[in-house]
Structure 1
Amino acid sequence: MGKGKRATPPIRTTEEIVLGPQHQNQLDLPKTSASHSGPANDTLEAKLLMVRHTKPNSPEKPSSVVDRRRQVSIEPEEGTYQAKTPSHLGSQEESGELDQVPTLILVTTYFSYFILIACAHIRDFFGKIFYPNEFRHLKEVNGYAPMVSDFESLWSRRLYSRISDCFNRPITGVAGGYVTLLDRVSLDHNRSFKLTGTTTRALNLASYNYLGFAQSKGPCADAVERGIKESGITASSPRIEVGQSRVLLETEELVARFVGTEACMIVSMGYATNSLTIPSLAGKGSLIISDELNHSSIVSGARLSGATISVFKHNSVADLEKVLRKHISQGQPRTHRPWKKILVIVEGLYSMEGQFCNLPGILALKERYKFYLFVDEAHSIGAIGPRGRGVCDHFGIDPREIDILMGTFTKSFGAAGGYICANKDIVDHLKLNAFSSVYAETMSVPVLRQVWSSMRIIMGEDREHALEGQERLDQLAINSRYFMTRLREMGFMVLGDPGSPVIPILLCNPSKIPAFSHEALKRNIAVVVVSYPATPIITGRVRICLSSSHSLEDLEYALEQISEIGDLLMLKVRPPTINAISDGGSASSESHHHHHQMKKIL
């Protein structure tokens, strides 16, 4: 071993990476499994798919109410439920994003923001004195106050504008496994952009195209074309007038059957599915308890409702119980009367964290404190669980135990809009009272046809593509677990639970946020970088979104390039646990090894 070189640990096979150490005994493979073929491969594939959605065992957190509860397993053919005991109630319940960030990085991140904000204030102070005409919009003019607050204006002009070229990049064509970007330049420090007339084809790690249904060809595209010929583009009317088409009713019945509830209401806009529906579920005298990292559409809906709002620590069942006990004991403000109703709102898969909600623990609280539960499955429906039924499928829980299940069609189904699934009484109430139903135009038939076609493929009800849906689900599950495991082995600060198609990598320092985006684009990789106000100010990140349309070659290329970027920007805070991607010939050798193993599995 040469001087200064680290000993190289044994290279693990792809099935070992995908399954994790807790399932190695299930495979029972001989040491020379790479050379085996025939029935042994079938056994490996069957066992891999059997455990592809399971999660590592971890000790449960002590809680007065989070006991081992009964769960249900769903028989795919008959749809029956059987009780079983869970072994995992959420591995990241009490862990925070800052737990894995070294102190030095936190200090330098705070210091960087301090310097940026201080310089911004200094520039504005002297700018108002020496360039009054250019800074008129920051002053009161003729009695009119500035339209934008001082801090929002400062942040957008002095910080966001510096890196605005990383956002709102125009594209052309289909945003599938690869995406074509329209190249642009700025000659005025990102105040405006001009298209150059050229394009860049990049590996798409930015879109929510989890199951790869964002396609311009295939059965879904054909169904959309037929929908346009049948009914045109829009009904130009809300549901209560003449907007309720036959296709809408059929699709609502299909979605309700897919999710596992009694009824469904489809909304033409995903954001409005939360923001304009929650006010019809809770109002004055009601209490809404929301996870602190819930989506802004949930926050908007809660504020519009007029209900009292309380927040609990992210994914913490213990803190949720504290909030419940406090508000139930005290009652409504001033009058101390009992609450008319209590509505707890969580997300199935948190899109900025890649974490699953602790659904079994929350349901244990629900049995004791008798609140209504609203679960936003925008990112989990279609992408999580053995049958793609979302977080309920992931944990093996009967969806009828959840009062309201919300989801969107923009992610896994390649469409638009969203849905609310619940019992018939709740859905009928929302159809007559929710702003998203009464005042908004219904979803157009072509979009409904996209939902209908993609969902039937996932369910295996399309005879011509009976196996395609399950193949997409399996590929997404394998891609997600494999990619996350490799990133962690490289030493990156990776958030999220195993099996999540959303994989955030913490960047923290503000200078590394645009640097990562630019370096990735140089390598023909499209990524999304996220910072304040979408995330806490010191936990800026790049969010990787995987798809079933990504091949092993795509993932290996992305991992190799991300590893190089990580070395360049010093993002690896821990030494690699395996020599996942190294310099010289070993990189191509190991890539070939992983490729060979993945082909055996698939």
Structure 2
Amino acid sequence: MAIHSPKGGGLTAQLKQKLIQQALERKLKRAGADEVMQPAGRASGAASGAAGSPAVPDGAPIPEAFYRFDMMPAYQQLQIMSKGAEHLGIPSPYFKVHEGISGDEARIGDRDYINYASYDYLGMSRDPVVMSAAKDAIDRYGTSVSASRILAGERPIHQELEQAMAQVYDCEDAVTFVSGHATNVSTIGQLFGPRDLVLHDELVHNSVVVGIQLSGAHRVPFAHNDWQAVDELLVRQRRQFERVLIVLEGLYGMDGDIPDLPRFVEVKNRHKAFLMVDEAHSFGVLGERGYGLREHFGMRGSDVDIWMGTFSKAMAGCGGYIAGEKAMVEHLRYLAPGFLYSVGMAPSLTAGSLAALRCMQAEPQRVAQLQARGQYFLREAQAAGLDTGTSIGMSVIPVIVGASVTAAKLSAALFKEGINAMPILYPAVPEKSARLRFFMSCLHTTEQIDATVGALRRLVG
């Protein structure tokens, strides 16, 4: 039985952006930039302190929602969504237990599945060399460095990995964090403040938004990949702020497309701004050697001020990194909370990611195979009439079905056929853009892809 998507109209993305821009300009004229582009961390109303109205009037009882976790609005909404899915007969797609190593295939329960829910893009997680390096590091350094690096957690492999990443990006220095999410939060939160402006693509990762909120900087999202909107806004507003940061992703994790990096570099140079690129999904994926977005466009490492990435994708580890000029990296190494107040990366993860990087450099066929498999999936999916959005067919390929219920049902139907692909539902994406997301691996075979696209063609109809 085919699973159909509901149809609906609505404003085009271009028209929405134009209306938003016009509204922004009207507000700027009336009240100035400070009112419209308020610092992300600025509170309002009762949350602003004693000057506001009390949350609970004198003599009134404290509402249960103020002191019970199960009464919190977000949890209540979660329960409603869960019961709604149960009523519709849709099993939860989340927290499936994967037995053993998960890559192009996964063992879930007592069955093997073709797996598209792992971002082990280069198959490094099961590589014997990578696993051996991780085990050897445990034998030499233990399971943990047991301290922040600035105090007593520094190990030679930390420095080796950072030097290797700096070389890959042709930058002066690099620093690693124990969490990819914390890398963005701590970096943006430390380097920018209330007198600054951060412009970010509307589709950037949550960690970027949280970092801006921590910084207290003024935050303005711009339409996806629209460098012209950034340029036009800075023409009018650049001088109202001290530092300006523009944040992009190297390859967008929901849509699988990339920004026009040369254009954004031109804009940031013209307006004396900083440019940050999150390469969580592009490092190990783009470029002949897997060196990411700069190699894809043939650009210098110094063209971007802040290179960020994670080790949890192509490098089969965990944690994140920042690469750039020495002054910026040294600033973070001594002052960024996510580095300064955190234990150093575990020896096994550090050594494993370093080994994965060396393997990628020694075996460029992994990157070529990943790119070929992604292109094959994209071609076959498009030939089957599936909506793959703006994906360029690398590590991330969505199949957009247009409604959260439809996406959840399609995921469940595929699972019954031995294919594991996770649904992405509202509010993670707009309701009309609900989708299944397929993470590609260099280990996927054309036979696996053919079976998957065949099932999608039959189920979507």
The TM tier, using the shorter chain, reads: 0.7 to 0.9
Does structure 2 conserve the Cα–Cα contact (< 8 Å) formed by 1:236 and 1:441? yes
Per-residue CA deviations over 1:132-171 (Å, capped at 9, x if unaligned) read: xxxxxxxx97544355787634531222441561112111
| Residue aligning to 2:315 | 413
User: What count of residue pairs does the alignment treat as equivalent?
Assistant: 402
Does structure 2 conserve the Cα–Cα contact (< 8 Å) formed by 1:382 and 1:390? yes
Deviation at 1:251, TM superposition (A): 1.1
- Tell me the secondary structure at the aligned position of residue 214 of structure 1: helix
Deviation at 1:104, TM superposition (A): 6.5
| Residue aligning to 1:558 | 452
Cα distance in 2 between the residues matched to 1:493 and 1:103: 11
Per-residue CA deviations over 1:315-344 (Å, capped at 9, x if unaligned) read: 101111122123225x1xxxxxxx221111
Q: Which runs of 5+ in 2 are unaligned?
A: 11-59
Distance 1:143 1:499, change over 3 A: closer
Distance 1:542 1:104, change over 3 A: closer
2:209 to 292, 295, 299: 299
| Residue aligning to 1:531 | 425
Deviation at 1:437, TM superposition (A): 1.0
Aligned Cα RMSD in Å?
A: 2.0
| Residue aligning to 1:226 | 136
Identity over aligned pairs, percent: 28
List 4+ stretches of structure 1 deviating above 4 A. Answer: 146-151
Deviation at 1:563, TM superposition (A): 1.7
Does structure 2 conserve the Cα–Cα contact (< 8 Å) formed by 1:313 and 1:320? no
Please state if 1:505 is matched with 2:427.
no
| Residue aligning to 1:386 | 288
Please state if 1:475 is matched with 2:369.
yes
Per-residue CA deviations over 1:541-592 (Å, capped at 9, x if unaligned) read: 100111001122222222222222222xxxxxxxxxxxxxxxxxxxxxxxxx
1:177 to 94, 100, 104: 104
Cα distance in 2 between the residues matched to 1:354 and 1:141: 51
Does structure 1 conserve the Cα–Cα contact (< 8 Å) formed by 2:144 and 2:347? yes
Does structure 1 conserve the Cα–Cα contact (< 8 Å) formed by 2:188 and 2:215? yes
Does structure 2 conserve the Cα–Cα contact (< 8 Å) formed by 1:496 and 1:502? no
Per-residue CA deviations over 1:72-128 (Å, capped at 9, x if unaligned) read: xxxxxxxxxxxxxxxxxxxxxxxxxxxxxx9961259xxxxxxxxxxxxxxxxxxxx
Does structure 1 conserve the Cα–Cα contact (< 8 Å) formed by 2:5 and 2:402? no
| Residue aligning to 2:200 | 290
Distance 1:550 1:239, change over 3 A: same
Does structure 2 conserve the Cα–Cα contact (< 8 Å) formed by 1:294 and 1:347? yes
Cα distance in 1 between the residues matched to 2:408 and 2:61: 36
2:259 to 357, 361, 374: 357
Cα distance in 1 between the residues matched to 2:271 and 2:145: 44
Cα distance in 2 between the residues matched to 1:509 and 1:533: 11
Distance 1:508 1:470, change over 3 A: same
1:366 to 268, 274, 277: 268
* Higher Rg of the two aligned structures: 1
Cα distance in 2 between the residues matched to 1:294 and 1:388: 21
TM score, norm. by length of structure 1: 0.64
Cα distance in 2 between the residues matched to 1:315 and 1:449: 35
2:415 to 518, 521, 530: 521
Please state if 1:450 is matched with 2:377.
no
Cα distance in 2 between the residues matched to 1:226 and 1:301: 35
Cα distance in 2 between the residues matched to 1:103 and 1:207: 26
Q: Which amino acid aligns with 1:543?
A: R
Does structure 1 conserve the Cα–Cα contact (< 8 Å) formed by 2:396 and 2:440? yes
1:340 to 213, 217, 242: 242
Distance 1:387 1:141, change over 3 A: farther
Cα distance in 2 between the residues matched to 1:307 and 1:357: 23
| Residue aligning to 1:35 | none
| Residue aligning to 2:8 | 106
Does structure 1 conserve the Cα–Cα contact (< 8 Å) formed by 2:65 and 2:71? no
TM score, norm. by length of structure 2: 0.83
Deviation at 1:179, TM superposition (A): 0.7
